[in-house]
A and B are shown apart, each in its own frame.
Chain A
Amino acid sequence: MDIHRISRVEQKKTRRQWRILAVLFFLLCGAMLFALNTGYVKLTPFEVIKTFLGMGTEKQALILFEFRLSRIIVAMLVGAGLAVSGCILQGISRNPLADPGIIGITTGAGLFVIVFVAFYDNVSLIPTYIVPIFAFLGGAITAAVIYVLSYRRHEGLLPTRLILTGVAIAAALNGLMMVLVMRLNPKEFHWVSVWLSGTIWGYEWKHVIVLFPLILLFIVAALWKSKLLDVLSLGDQISTGFGVTLEKERIILLAIAVGLAASSVSVSGGIAFVGLIAPHIARRLIGPYHQYLVPASALIGGIMLVVADTIGRSIIAPSEIQAGIVVAIIGAPYFLYLLSRTKV
């Protein structure tokens, strides 16, 4: 294990990796512009520009600023949050299947949100910033249970065990959610089913205001811990050899991952595939170093969800296909393709 050689190769690659990040950034901007031009009400790019300059009609401004733009930004943030969350989980568990959806963290967070919303008489009176707190609580409890169950004192975190425990817990939580369904009145019933299939429901500016600092903060935290993620993904024994205090660091990273997933879930349903696929695509594009992997995952996750949500809300308008379903339909074949090409 020649660390020096690795870091030298890394330096050589730096420029190329920055270039990839720049390309991804422009793709994200392109996806957002495209999303802005798409919707039930047809607006030409010219009308969009006019509206942005403040010369559009009142209704055009309403649709663009209040309904579309905020929603697109929320989609981007949710995608980025889930992707980085998955990226961290895959790093600390050394398991390529780890994803906040698959191991039940989003379900746990979502369950808390739903319980909270369902037993609150008037949802519109709930302060928006409270919901992420509940989501985090639910996600953290789930993550703690999974962690305790998949940890062995002398072997560390067992990757396979983590996935299996997570899947089992996710199934149990989904069951709980089905029980809740019977408790609810017709409208809320609809709401739960929408959650289960993964839609973005909080798309007003107030959600952007709450979500943006949270996601930004956690992603910066993940970047700050990116070297540590590199070391942790080498395995427990090697990491201990580097003098990393495993337990503490891993819990911090897990908390960041939960924070990202929970923030995302506080405005969206259970969108499963983004956290799994985005880091894989990112890894193939940019290599295994988390310093680049984290921002690349965030950008790819953002692109995926902006595009998926745009397709979902326009393809059968005025009804919507949940963004989670669109991601699964488009993402699954690509993921299978990736798997078939991986030499493992």
Chain B
Amino acid sequence: MKEFKISKMLVVLCLALMISILSACSDTGEENTEEPSVSEETSNAETGNTDDEEAKEEEQQEATTKMYTTLQGEEVEIPVNPQRVVTDFSVGALLKLGIKPVGAVQEYGLDNPHFPAEEIEGIEDIGSSISLEKVTSLNPDLIITISPDQYESLSKIAPTILIPYGSYDNFEDELLAYGEIVNKTEEAEAWIADFKVKISEAKQKLEGVIGEDETAGIYQYYEKAFYVYGNKFGRGGPVIYDLLGLKMPDKIQEMVDGGEQWGNISLEVLPEYAADHMFLTDNAAAENGMMLSQEVLDSSIYQNLAKENEVYVVDPDRMWYDDPYAIEGQLEDVVELLLAVNSSKE
């Protein structure tokens, strides 16, 4: 009986504690941030709109919304010139088109080393699992997401377009699709033309340095195993294979032809997958400030490989993304690496 009372009190105490911790936290949250509230944000947005009301009225004579047919075959009514775009992942494409999103996911949308800091300044974090309340409070007029499982909820807030990761075969189609959505087709075409010049310049630089038959491979060391990647799985693949036109070693080519974009191999068979130019990342080591784990560096297989081939240990964060900013940056990185090592060799 006595025991029961004590434990009952304890439960109540625990609950009281949780609640007080929570209310304390939400209090400080109130002080720090500018108290996000729907009604307030709405009024902000309204006053913002009155500034360019004239411009808006002019536009109103034309249509302010258009129908867009999504990849899933749905018709979505979206603004012709969206002003407040929220996206989780597609920050790079939108920025390149001159659209600065009002909100994006910090963890995998904004933490991209290729973005100039000033261009993403002021873009609000919507939370790594996408806070629907935060998105609502940002008052978006268009949402672009790669997340199929959040699509339905997001479309309750504003017109939402779902573009799952890897929907487009190449960067041109992808950027043109974004261009069509946000009414920036000209900007998209201009950048693509510009970037194509950069690609051919890069190819020219490599001419004579990298032979036509020389192969390249992309490798990752993770949890004591090696992984190889094809041309459509980020990690620099699009740049190295599709843009610079380097060849895959036979084993990797076989894998890609077989419909696989990645493969798990052990250190022992790594030599079979070896290429003349090996781009190697090690996420775990990179997190600890090293580029490659000691156990790899010490292995005789690795040492032999490094003797016979060129191994480039690259920063996984720079290689991981495949948006316009990232492929620009990766193109420079890869060309620089290839030139630095190989031109002195000749």
Which chain A residues have a beta carbon within 8 Å of chain B's beta carbons?
Answer: 20, 27, 31, 34, 38-43, 57, 59-60, 62-63, 66-68, 117, 121-124, 178-179, 182-183, 185-187, 190-191, 194, 199, 201, 204, 281, 284-285, 303, 307, 310-311, 313-315, 317-320, 330, 334, 337, 341
Provided the pairs A285-B11, A318-B134 are in contact, do residues A123 and B148 lie with their beta carbons within 8 angstroms?
A: yes
Say yes or no for B234: interface residue by CB 8 A criterion. Answer: yes
In the complex the two chains form, what is the Cα distance from A103 to B106 in whole Å? 35
B36's partner among A42, A191, A307 (CB-CB below 8 A) is A42
In the complex the two chains form, what is the Cα distance from A270 to B15 in whole Å? 23
Say yes or no for B108: interface residue by CB 8 A criterion. Answer: yes
Provided the pairs A34-B19, A122-B164, A186-B165 are in contact, do residues A285 and B4 lie with their beta carbons within 8 angstroms?
A: yes
A317's partner among B3, B107, B108, B133 (CB-CB below 8 A) is B133
Chain A residues lying within 8 Å of B164, measured Cβ to Cβ, are 121-122, 187
Say yes or no for B266: interface residue by CB 8 A criterion. Answer: no
Provided the pairs A185-B165, A199-B129 are in contact, do residues A62 and B136 lie with their beta carbons within 8 angstroms?
A: yes
Chain B residues lying within 8 Å of A122, measured Cβ to Cβ, are 72, 148, 164
In the complex the two chains form, what is the Cα distance from A57 to B18 in whole Å? 31
Are the C-beta atoms of A182 and B129 separated by less than 8 Å? no
Say yes or no for B251: interface residue by CB 8 A criterion. Answer: no
Are the C-beta atoms of B129 and A40 separated by less than 8 Å? no
In the complex the two chains form, what is the Cα distance from A303 to B137 in whole Å? 28
Are the C-beta atoms of B127 and A318 separated by less than 8 Å? yes
Are the C-beta atoms of B149 and A314 separated by less than 8 Å? no
Provided the pairs A41-B133, A285-B8, A285-B11 are in contact, do residues A57 and B39 lie with their beta carbons within 8 angstroms?
A: yes
Chain B residues lying within 8 Å of A334, measured Cβ to Cβ, are 10, 14
Closest-by-CB residue of B relative to A310 is B22
In the complex the two chains form, what is the Cα distance from A219 to B90 in whole Å? 44
B152's partner among A204, A314, A318, A341 (CB-CB below 8 A) is A204
Are the C-beta atoms of B14 and A319 separated by less than 8 Å? no
The 9 A-B pairs of least Cβ separation, nearest first, read A318-B127, A318-B131, A318-B134, A40-B133, A123-B148, A319-B127, A59-B38, A124-B148, A284-B7
B58-87 Cβ-contact flags toward A at 8 Å (1 or 0)? 000000000000001000000000000000
Provided the pairs A63-B38, A185-B165 are in contact, do residues A317 and B151 lie with their beta carbons within 8 angstroms?
A: no
Are the C-beta atoms of B134 and A59 separated by less than 8 Å? no
Chain A residues lying within 8 Å of B131, measured Cβ to Cβ, are 40, 313, 317-320
Are the C-beta atoms of A40 and B4 separated by less than 8 Å? no
Are the C-beta atoms of A42 and B165 separated by less than 8 Å? no
Other 17 A-B pairs with CB < 8 A, given A62-B156, A317-B131:
A34-B19, A41-B133, A42-B35, A57-B39, A67-B133, A124-B149, A183-B262, A186-B89, A186-B165, A190-B108, A199-B129, A285-B11, A307-B18, A318-B125, A318-B127, A319-B125, A337-B10
Are the C-beta atoms of A319 and B4 separated by less than 8 Å? no
In the complex the two chains form, what is the Cα distance from A281 to B3 in whole Å? 12
Q: List 16 A-B contacts (CB under 8 A).
A: A40-B36, A40-B137, A42-B30, A122-B148, A124-B152, A186-B320, A281-B7, A284-B7, A285-B7, A303-B15, A317-B133, A318-B133, A319-B131, A320-B127, A320-B129, A330-B14
In the complex the two chains form, what is the Cα distance from A191 to B89 in whole Å? 14
In the complex the two chains form, what is the Cα distance from A122 to B162 in whole Å? 10
Are the C-beta atoms of B133 and A39 separated by less than 8 Å? yes
In the complex the two chains form, what is the Cα distance from A117 to B149 in whole Å? 10
A-B contact count (CB 8 A): 143
Are the C-beta atoms of A187 and B146 separated by less than 8 Å? yes
Q: Is the interface of A mostly helix, strand, loop or mixed?
A: helix
Closest-by-CB residue of B relative to A303 is B15
Chain A residues lying within 8 Å of B72, measured Cβ to Cβ, are 122
Chain A residues lying within 8 Å of B108, measured Cβ to Cβ, are 186-187, 190
In the complex the two chains form, what is the Cα distance from A284 to B14 in whole Å? 15
Say yes or no for B153: interface residue by CB 8 A criterion. Answer: yes
On chain B, the number of residues with a Cβ less than 8 Å from chain A's Cβ atoms is 60
B147's partner among A187, A315, A320, A337 (CB-CB below 8 A) is A187
Are the C-beta atoms of A314 and B42 separated by less than 8 Å? no
Provided the pairs A42-B36, A62-B157, A187-B146 are in contact, do residues A281 and B22 lie with their beta carbons within 8 angstroms?
A: no
Distance between B31 CB and nearest chain A CB, rounded to angstroms: 12
Mark out the residues of chain B between 24 and 60 whose CB falls within 8 Å of any chain A CB in the assembled complex.
25-26, 29-30, 35-39, 42
Chain A residues lying within 8 Å of B136, measured Cβ to Cβ, are 41, 59, 62-63, 67
In the complex the two chains form, what is the Cα distance from A338 to B59 in whole Å? 68
Distance between A242 CB and nearest chain B CB, rounded to angstroms: 28
Provided the pairs A39-B133, A190-B108 are in contact, do residues A66 and B149 lie with their beta carbons within 8 angstroms?
A: no
In the complex the two chains form, what is the Cα distance from A284 to B4 in whole Å? 6
Chain B residues lying within 8 Å of A178, measured Cβ to Cβ, are 223
In the complex the two chains form, what is the Cα distance from A39 to B133 in whole Å? 8
In the complex the two chains form, what is the Cα distance from A124 to B148 in whole Å? 5
Chain A residues lying within 8 Å of B3, measured Cβ to Cβ, are 284, 341
B240-273 Cβ-contact flags toward A at 8 Å (1 or 0)? 0000000000000000000000101000000000
Distance between A283 CB and nearest chain B CB, rounded to angstroms: 10
B107-135 Cβ-contact flags toward A at 8 Å (1 or 0)? 11000000000000000111111011110
Are the C-beta atoms of A330 and B18 separated by less than 8 Å? yes
Are the C-beta atoms of B153 and A204 separated by less than 8 Å? yes
Provided the pairs A39-B133, A190-B128 are in contact, do residues A182 and B148 lie with their beta carbons within 8 angstroms?
A: no
Say yes or no for B227: interface residue by CB 8 A criterion. Answer: yes
A319's partner among B128, B223, B264 (CB-CB below 8 A) is B128
In the complex the two chains form, what is the Cα distance from A117 to B230 in whole Å? 23
In the complex the two chains form, what is the Cα distance from A321 to B68 in whole Å? 36
Closest-by-CB residue of A relative to B127 is A318
In the complex the two chains form, what is the Cα distance from A68 to B106 in whole Å? 23
Distance between B113 CB and nearest chain A CB, rounded to angstroms: 15
Say yes or no for B166: interface residue by CB 8 A criterion. Answer: yes
Chain A residues lying within 8 Å of B233, measured Cβ to Cβ, are 185
Are the C-beta atoms of A57 and B127 separated by less than 8 Å? no
Say yes or no for B168: interface residue by CB 8 A criterion. Answer: no
Are the C-beta atoms of A319 and B133 separated by less than 8 Å? no
Chain B residues lying within 8 Å of A38, measured Cβ to Cβ, are 22, 26
B89's partner among A187, A311, A337 (CB-CB below 8 A) is A187
Closest-by-CB residue of A relative to B222 is A182
Provided the pairs A62-B136, A187-B146 are in contact, do residues A311 and B22 lie with their beta carbons within 8 angstroms?
A: yes
